[in-house]
Structure 1
Amino acid sequence: MPSTRVITQPPLPPGRACINCRRRKRKCDSERPKCSPCIKLGVGDKCAYDLTPEWLEVEVLTARVHELEEGIRNLTISLKGVASSHVLVGHSGRRQPPMRVPKPAGPLDVPVSLRDPFVGLLKQREVPRNIRDPLIRECLKHRRLHFPTQMNMSRFWYAYKLPPSHPESIHPALLDAMCLLGCLHGGDMLQPYERLFYARLQRSLYDSLENADRLLDFIRASTLAAKYCLTKSRCIEGQHRNAATVRFAMACGLHTIDTYDLNSPKLSLLKPPPKDLVDLGEIIHAWWNLFTVDRLGALLLRVHGTVAHDNETITTMWPCAFEDYESGRAMQAPHKGLSSLRSFESDPNLELKASAYDNVYAFRTQGCEMFYHAITLASSFREGHDVSHDATVAIRATSLLSDSIVSYRRRECPTFDNARNKVDCTHDCTLIFSMTITYGALIQLLHIFADKDPASYRQRVEAARACAKLAIEVCRVDASLLNVTIWLPWYSAYEVLSWEFTRLKKNRDHKDAAALRADLNGLMDAYMRFAERYSFQNNQDFQRLSRFDIHTCEVDTIEL
């Protein structure tokens, strides 16, 4: 019996029907040159096909894709020895994992030639030397402005040249912090990359803390980050960051280094522990640099410091000159630390004798501490508290400190010299700042007794004039020796001189008034030179000087 089944032809692939059948939505057998449905309908003369049908374009593109994929697969096999769709067995007989095919480029990707080369630095652990070296040199060129970068340079360059994998090499956190400051001082071309290195610094600090890796570099880098924020007028952020670093350093025992015994358990908390006296000196300097930045940040914000002045747990010795740690002279100095500034209460006849602590780094730390203490006592005095006893002890300590600094200057640095600054740019700048801030401490302390004690009044004026004359001398030599926070004691000196100038004019003492006016003019000129070098968003303190009506025009025109 014959079969009744009708053999149906498979449907045509999409896009192969003629234009007429596709428009009428009828089945088409795709016969050439005219299909059967068009002939039956009598419209064979209108039967036509697309010259480049969609199905042909799809097939061509699909074939091209397969061809490219095959080329990639063959290239991968030849280069990697690993097939993308198979698991191969190596010479050792071990199964090797399949190759991971990289993700295709996104719509926002640009050619390599158009990419910013600095963007890739955010993902790299190490900054290329050709980028890092100039930034590090720029940072060190301005290290007089940033205390934590003042370190033993021979030891620094030795560690800097070591490979990153070496345990004694510098941690990337400290290098990122120094590159950040290099961008800050590198001019308009490099300043846009501050955000990049600040982000790198954040990540590298986390890595150091997570792995307890080179914690001294972590403390230095964190201090530099705080100093950067203070320099950028982000004072609250900088002070909070520095306060956290102070607490971390105290947890590591940096505030209790009262011995040069390298095997002392007090030094075991810091990883890695110091291996010689030079390393121990670096740790002592790192602590006092951190302490000083904390004091200056507290003064700028008018808040209390992280560590109180009478905190008896701080027993770390004052810093010595870096060469004294190398020569061993530091070990011959008697132990002295923060408590020595309070020892005048128990022994009023105590005097500061020359020792290894007669150096600009110890002077700076002691001067900042006494200025902070003086501001605290003056504030309590204005609130009605009796601080006469504490102020008398502080005046005694600050006066002896001032005498020690003046004696040191006569002996080591009678004049400030540009040639010497090129060799060691930190010495003169640190000495000038130490002298200035010590004068500021004396002015604040003597002010407590000046209204009732004529001797205190005269000493206060003398300290203010000494501060003004030092500022005039520095500006005549090199204004770059001015520290960024030196305006704090200048403000106190200008106030005292203005009061005295007004008193002399009222008493018709024209000769002394003219001499005092010369000091005021010189101090205002120093302010002007200072304002040209640095910019501040908050200039309210400086603008208040216009109330004396002495340099009102100059104060109003300065843009800090």
Structure 2
Amino acid sequence: MDTTSTLIPEIQKLRKGEACMYCRRRKMKCDGARPICGQCMRGDRAEDCEYAANSSYSRTQGLEDTIARMEARIRELENPDNGQGAKLVLRNPYFANEFQQLPSSDLPVSSHVAQNVQQAASSNLWWTLDEPPMHMRENLFLQSAVEVGFFLNTNRFRQSSLRDLPHGHHERPHPVLLSAAYLWGIHLTGEPYTQHEDAILTRALSQLTGSLSSTHPQRIMHTIQAKVLLIHYLYANGRLLEGKYHTSSVVGLALAARLNKVRSSEVTDAKPLPAPVDSVEEGERIRACWTIFSLDKCWAVAFDSPPNTHCPAEMAGQQLDTPWPLEMAGYEQGLFSEYGTSNRTSYTLQNFLNEVPASDSGDSALGFLAKGAILWELSTKIFHQFRAASGQTLATHIDTFNRLDRLIDQVIASIERASLGRKEYMLPRCIASAAAIRLHSGLANTNALSRGKCLIAAEAIVLSLNSIPDLDSAYANPIIASAWTAASQVISSEVTLWRSVVDTVGTHEVERAERDLKRIFNAGLNVMTVLAERSQLIRYQEELTQQSYVALFGL
């Protein structure tokens, strides 16, 4: 079910300022209809649709004026020696827990950080220093850690990053990791800090070049983590070629660090990493392995290009023996120690794909994501093989097709049992459903069962998207755009199919089916429109599906 080129009716452009305030703020295409525009009508948000021309001072303009005053206050705080005579208090106006006024002498900052803040305030160039002010460091990206590929223990990272020690000290995170973390913190915080993202990104990429040659005891793991954070950032901002380059690089580094051999039964003298100090540190290595594996597989499918890891690997040195990951809380609670230090694993992926029972089930969000990723990749291979196969050779792929179909069904069912509505299971559910669509899409036009499975998977993706809590402030892994695109293509094909049989089933039945499909499409599109605010890549895919929606259903 490939996307075919479609002529999209040109939308009449509005003059500047004629779009409603909601569409203008969301950077959405507005038709300017009054009293409620088409976008707000489809999104069932009539109460949010307002025009600045309706009154001399709209509610949205009031909010924008408030933001302007807050930005002016920040400029005052960054320039305490501006001759006004008032003693200014450094605080972050974007976090409610920091609104309390404190005398500057009572600010809870260390001596090193206080000096850093003073230098930043006096120079008004905080982004040129090694680290930003404390109030920015305290509010990093950790609430979105899963979505940006953070596999280290968040509590330990936060504690070490805020220690009263100089930048680069061995008891604090490696400088390249801090820079990558600050980059994400600034990106997710929003204006006015985002204007300095390029400076922080340039610094982080520069630090990568010498990070492995430093003497920092965690240089390997922290460099790997920094690379993963930067890869997610590059993809999210549409810098795809750079993202692919660093993905290849981090896969090679992970293999060199033998992260694919944690707890392996393979005997070797190669030990690029020291023995882990506890189960949490070992868990970080296990989660690093599967984070990188999932990253490589998912984006290989998105780009329709070969992955950097080939599994099942025929080479013994590259096969993945690392056990399936637990949630980080499991390592903190010592659950992994139940396996015992003598317990070794091997052929983890091969056993899964061959349906061999294993002691570690991999029923964590990251485990499900890794399973969904490998099934998505293998389903893509089968899809291409089916398209190229003749009638005689098609039968040779049936066994593989049926096995993948069973595995996808099992993974989806396991996610449903384990998720309990938690947000970290949203992406694995979408990826597994995208794998189902990819597997069956080659047969959907001729096989009713495959067509039904594609539609069920598309609805599951939309349902998962609508389960995201606190949507307006949420950040989503941009790979979700590929899953959504697959779902939207299924819905579009289904609409086209129903319209083609109107003479057979009747107008009433076709209109009923089309209403249901339009509702599903609209529900997914509304979520993606919000998520697009924080990712250029999602915005690009969302605009394409907006065009498909208009072509199918009109404005």
Deviation at 1:398, TM superposition (A): 1.2
Change (3 A) 1:553 1:178: farther
**How far apart in 2 are the matches of 1:117 and 1:530?**
31
Please name the residue that 1:338 is paired with.
Answer: 349
Aligned to 2:474, which of 466, 475, 480? Answer: 480
**How far apart in 1 are the matches of 2:474 and 2:332?**
29
Please name the residue that 1:276 is paired with.
Answer: 278
Change (3 A) 1:140 1:332: same
Aligned to 1:377, which of 357, 378, 382? Answer: 382
- Is the aligned partner of 1:318 residue 2:324? yes
User: Superposed, which structure 2 residues align to 1:60-459 within 5 Å?
Assistant: 115-118=123-126, 121=129, 126-127=130-131, 131=133, 134-135=136-137, 137-148=139-150, 150-162=151-163, 163-164=165-166, 167-211=170-214, 213=216, 214=218, 215-259=220-264, 268-270=271-273, 272-312=274-314, 313-332=319-338, 335=345, 337-344=348-355, 357-384=362-389, 386=394, 387-409=397-419, 413=420, 415=421, 428-459=422-453
**How far apart in 2 are the matches of 1:161 and 1:529?**
32
**Stretch moving more, 444-453 or 543-552:** 543-552
Q: Secondary structure of the equivalent of 2:479? A: coil
Contact 1:330/1:356 (<8 A) preserved: no
**How far apart in 2 are the matches of 1:540 and 1:360?**
25
Please name the residue that 1:58 is paired with.
Answer: none
Deviation at 1:394, TM superposition (A): 1.5
Deviation at 1:287, TM superposition (A): 2.0
Structure 1: segments with no counterpart, 5+ residues: 1-111, 416-427, 555-560
**Stretch moving more, 282-291 or 449-458:** 449-458
Change (3 A) 1:136 1:448: farther
Deviation at 1:469, TM superposition (A): 2.9
Q: TM-score, normalised by structure 2?
A: 0.66
Deviations 1:361-414 (A, max 9, x none): 2112222222233233323433447443332222111111011001113xxx2x
Deviations 1:210-259 (A, max 9, x none): 23632110111112122221122111111101211210110111111135
Change (3 A) 1:407 1:292: same
Contact 1:450/1:457 (<8 A) preserved: yes
**How far apart in 2 are the matches of 1:431 and 1:397?**
18
Change (3 A) 1:536 1:553: farther
Contact 1:429/1:483 (<8 A) preserved: no
**Stretch moving more, 314-323 or 252-261:** 252-261
Bigger relative CO (Cα 8 Å, ≥ 6 apart): 2
- Give the counterpart letter for 1:490 in structure 2: W
What is the RMSD computed on CA atoms of the aligned residues? 3.4
Change (3 A) 1:260 1:380: closer
**How far apart in 1 are the matches of 2:351 and 2:156?**
30
Structure 2: segments with no counterpart, 5+ residues: 1-119
Q: Secondary structure of the equivalent of 1:230? A: helix
- Is the aligned partner of 1:491 residue 2:472? no
**How far apart in 2 are the matches of 1:257 and 1:159?**
25
Deviations 1:280-318 (A, max 9, x none): 101111222222222333234332111123325122222
Contact 2:485/2:545 (<8 A) preserved: no
Deviation at 1:548, TM superposition (A): 7.3
Change (3 A) 1:342 1:540: same
Deviation at 1:195, TM superposition (A): 2.8
**How far apart in 2 are the matches of 1:118 and 1:479?**
26
User: Superposed, which structure 2 residues align to 1:2-21 within 5 Å?
Assistant: none
**How far apart in 2 are the matches of 1:479 and 1:408?**
25
Contact 1:320/1:356 (<8 A) preserved: no
**How far apart in 2 are the matches of 1:159 and 1:115?**
27
- Give the counterpart letter for 1:254 in structure 2: L
User: Superposed, which structure 2 residues align to 1:28-43 within 5 Å?
Assistant: none
Q: TM-score, normalised by structure 1?
A: 0.65
Change (3 A) 1:332 1:398: farther
- Give the counterpart letter for 2:447 in structure 1: D
- Give the counterpart letter for 2:282 in structure 1: L
- Give the counterpart letter for 2:174 in structure 1: H
Matched residues, number: 412
Please name the residue that 1:56 is paired with.
Answer: none
Contact 1:358/1:404 (<8 A) preserved: yes
